[in-house]
Chains A and B, each alone.
Chain A
Amino acid sequence: MIRVLSTNITSPLGYTTDRNFRSVMEGRASLRPMRHWRDIPDSFVASAFSDAQMEGLMLDGYTKFESLVIRSVSEALSRTQIDMGSHKTLFLLATTKADVDELGSEKGKDRLYQAPGKSARRIAGFFGIVTAPVVVCNACVSGAGAQVLAYRLLEAGYYDQAVVCGADCLTPFVVAGFMSLQSLSPEECRPFDIERRGLNIGEAASTIIYGRCDGQDDAKGRWTLLGGCLNSDAYHISSPSPLADGAVRAMEQVLKDVDKECLACVNVHGTATLFNDQMESVAIEKTGLADIPVSALKGYYGHTLGAAGVLETVLSLRALDEGIVLPVRGFEEIGVSGRITISNQRQKTGKHSFLKLISGFGGCNGALLFAKGAEYRQESLFGPEKDIRLLKSLHLTDSFLKMDGEEKAVDAQGKAMLKELYKRSGLDYPKFYKMDVFSRMVFIASELLLKGIVLPAAEKRAIVLFNQFSSVVQDRKHIGTISGNGGFFPSPSVYIYTLPNIAVGEVAIKQGFKGETSLYILDERDDALMEQIVRTAFYESGPSVMITGWVDCVEEDVFEADLKLLTV
C-alpha cells in the first residue's frame, strides 16, 4: 500500500499544511490585485508571496523556485523519518516552468542553468538524495502526474519512499502567456459561477511524501493512495473535450469496484475558465457523481500550475482529517450545464475516501483516489509485470534519419529537414506549420514511426517521452515577445508551445492516442531510469502500445528524437 507519510504547503497563506488549513477555514485567500507588476502593462489578480515573505524564504545560493521547493520539502521531512541518502528514496518534482524566470536574466544565458532537471538535481543535492530526480512536466496535470508516477514506482518496488513536490512561481512569462490566451480574470476567480471570467495565477510549493507500507498496523490514521490514472482527450491542445470523455475515463478507471457513495468529495480543477468548469461538470455527471460534494480551491490560491495537483490534494486530505469538505470560494450561482453538487459552504462528512480530478493543456487528464484506513480496496491497480516487445525504432536528428537502425536519405538538414519529411509524407495537416520546432520533430518522428502499424483501440495507446531542455527554444521566443524593443505583445500560439508536453498532445491528436501522454524531464539521459518509468506505465488495464524515447531540441537546428514503439 502506498501511504501518505507527511505533507507541506508553502504558500502566501502560510508555510505548513496546518497553517494553510486554518487560513482557508477562516475564509482567507491570498489573491490580490497586481498593478504595474514587473513591467506588465495590464493589471491582473494573482496569489503571490510578498517581498517580506520572500526575504524570509530565500536561501543563499538558490533561486526563488529552488528555495520554495527546499522550504516545502524540508518542512514535510521534519515530521517523518526517511533515509534521504538511500538508493530507495526517489525525488519527483512537478512543475510547468521551474526556473524559467532566470532565462531572461544574465545567468540564464547559460541554458543549462535554467533546465528544470538541473534545478531538480540541485535541490536533490541539498537533501543528499542520491537517486536521479525526475521532473514531471505535463502542464497543469503535473502535480497529479507526479503522484501517479510515485505510486507506480513504489508499487513496483523500485523505491521505498518518494518525495513529491509540486511548485511554480508567478512570473511575467506565465502571466503574459495566460493574458494572450485571454484566460485571466480581471477579478478574483469564481469557479463554476455563472459570472466566472477566467483564472488567477498563483505561486506555491507543496510536498507529499509517500512510503510503501506492507503491514496493516501503520495504516491507522494515514491516507492511502489507492490508484491514479492519466490519459488524453486527443481533442485540442488548449481546449478540453466538451464531451469530457478523457476526464470520465480517468475517474472511472480509478473508481473501478469502489462504491461511489463512500466518496466524501471530489476535489476538481475548477480553474474558473468557461471551458474547464463546464467540461468538469459534464464529467462529474457522466461518472455518476452528481450528488457527491464538489470542492475547488482556486478561489483561495489561484491556479498554482505545477503545484496545483499536490497542493489541492494535500489541503483536501487535511480538511477531511477534520471531517470537513471545504467550500468553493467565489461561487454563488451555478453556471455550468452538467448536474453537479458544488460545496458552497463548509460541510461535515463522516466519509474517508476522496477523489482528485485535474486536467491541463495538451489535452491531458488525471485522477487520483485516496482512502483512510484499511476498509477500502486492497488490490493494486498495478498487476503483474508484463512482457514488453519492441515493434519499431526510429532515430531522427538534425542531420540523419534512421529507421530500425537503417539510414534513410534526406536532402535537407536542421529545421528544413522536418519540413522535407512532412512534405514527403504526403500529409495534408496545415497545423504542422503552426507548431514549434520541437513539436514538429516529435510529430513527424511519430508519424514515421507509426507508418504501416496497426494500432489497438485509442484508449490503449500511450506516449511517454523524456527530455532535458524542456522547451528552451520556444521559451526564448516567448520572452522576446514580452520584453525588449518590440513592446509587450505576447503571442498565444508562441506561448502554448512553451509547455513541452504540447508536442506530446499534438501527436495524441493526430494519431488518436487516448491513453497516457506524459513528458518527463531528466538532468541527463538515463536509460535505466527511463526503462523503470516505461515498464511501470504498462500497468494492468493500461496501454498495450506506447511511443517512448528521448526527444530534445536545443536550438532551432539542433534536435534529436530517439524513439521506440513498444507493445505488450
Chain B
Amino acid sequence: MEELILDLKKQIIEALNLEEITPEDIDNDAPLFGEGLGLDSIDALEIIVILDKYYGIKLSNAAEGKTVFRSINSIAEYIAKHRTK
C-alpha cells in the first residue's frame, strides 16, 4: 500500500503540475479538494485520467468520484480494490 501511495502521489504531482510540492508534503488523509492542495474540477478530471492510464480503472460517474477523491488514502484504497493493471 505504501508503494502504491507513493506512486500515486508522484503521478498526481506530475499530472497536476504541482511544482514546488513533494510527496512528503501531501498528507495521506487530508482533503484534496477545496482546502489542502486546493484542487479544482479540472484536477478531478485529471485524476480520472491517472486511474485509467496507470491502473486500468474507468471512472465516469462524477458522483462516485466525490467520495473516491476525498484524500490520497481513499483513492489508494479504491485503486487497490478495482485496479486491472
- Interface positions of A (Cβ within 8 A of B): 180-182, 236-239, 430, 433-434, 487, 489-493, 496
Residues 1-58 of B at the A interface (beta carbon under 8 Å): 15-20, 37-38, 40-43, 45-46, 48-49, 52-53
Name the prevailing secondary structure of the B interface residues.
Answer: helix
With A182-B62, A238-B41, A239-B41 as contacts: A492 and B49 at CB distance below 8 Å:
yes
Q: List 14 A-B contacts (CB under 8 A).
A: A181-B45, A182-B60, A182-B62, A237-B42, A238-B42, A430-B38, A434-B42, A487-B53, A489-B49, A489-B53, A490-B49, A491-B46, A493-B45, A493-B46
Q: Which of A237, A238, A489 contacts B52 (CB 8 A)?
A: A489
Q: How far is the CB of A45 from chain B (nearest CB, A)?
A: 15
With A239-B41, A430-B38 as contacts: A180 and B49 at CB distance below 8 Å:
yes
What residues on A are CB-neighbors of B48 within 8 Å?
182
14 other A-B residue contacts (CB within 8 Å) besides A237-B42, A238-B41, A493-B15: A180-B45, A180-B49, A181-B42, A181-B45, A182-B48, A430-B38, A433-B17, A433-B19, A434-B17, A489-B49, A491-B15, A493-B16, A493-B42, A493-B45
Q: How far is the CB of A497 from chain B (nearest CB, A)?
A: 10
Q: Name the CB-closest residue of B to A435.
A: B17
The 4 closest A-B pairs by CB, nearest first: A492-B45, A433-B19, A489-B53, A433-B17
In this complex, the interface size class of chain B, counting residues with CB under 8 Å from chain A, is 20 to 34
**In the assembly, what is the distance between CA of A489 and CA of B45, in Å?**
12
What residues on A are CB-neighbors of B38 within 8 Å?
430
Q: How many A-B residue pairs have CB under 8 A?
A: 45
- Interface positions of B (Cβ within 8 A of A): 15-20, 37-38, 40-43, 45-46, 48-49, 52-53, 60, 62
What residues on B are CB-neighbors of A492 within 8 Å?
42, 45-46, 49
What residues on B are CB-neighbors of A434 within 8 Å?
16-17, 42
What residues on A are CB-neighbors of B40 within 8 Å?
236
Q: How far is the CB of B54 from chain A (nearest CB, A)?
A: 9
**In the assembly, what is the distance between CA of A491 and CA of B52, in Å?**
11
Q: How far is the CB of B45 from chain A (nearest CB, A)?
A: 4
What residues on A are CB-neighbors of B41 within 8 Å?
236, 238-239
Q: Name the CB-closest residue of A to B18.
A: A433
What residues on B are CB-neighbors of A489 within 8 Å?
49, 52-53
**In the assembly, what is the distance between CA of A446 and CA of B26, in Å?**
31
What residues on B are CB-neighbors of A491 within 8 Å?
15, 46, 49
What residues on B are CB-neighbors of A433 within 8 Å?
17-20
What residues on A are CB-neighbors of B45 within 8 Å?
180-182, 492-493
**In the assembly, what is the distance between CA of A182 and CA of B52, in Å?**
13
What residues on B are CB-neighbors of A236 within 8 Å?
40-41
What residues on A are CB-neighbors of B62 within 8 Å?
182
- Max chain A CB contacts within 10 Å: which of B18, B37, B42? B42
Q: How far is the CB of B73 from chain A (nearest CB, A)?
A: 22
What residues on B are CB-neighbors of A237 within 8 Å?
42
Q: How far is the CB of A419 from chain B (nearest CB, A)?
A: 8
**In the assembly, what is the distance between CA of A262 and CA of B83, in Å?**
59
Q: Name the CB-closest residue of B to A490.
A: B49
Q: How far is the CB of A43 from chain B (nearest CB, A)?
A: 13
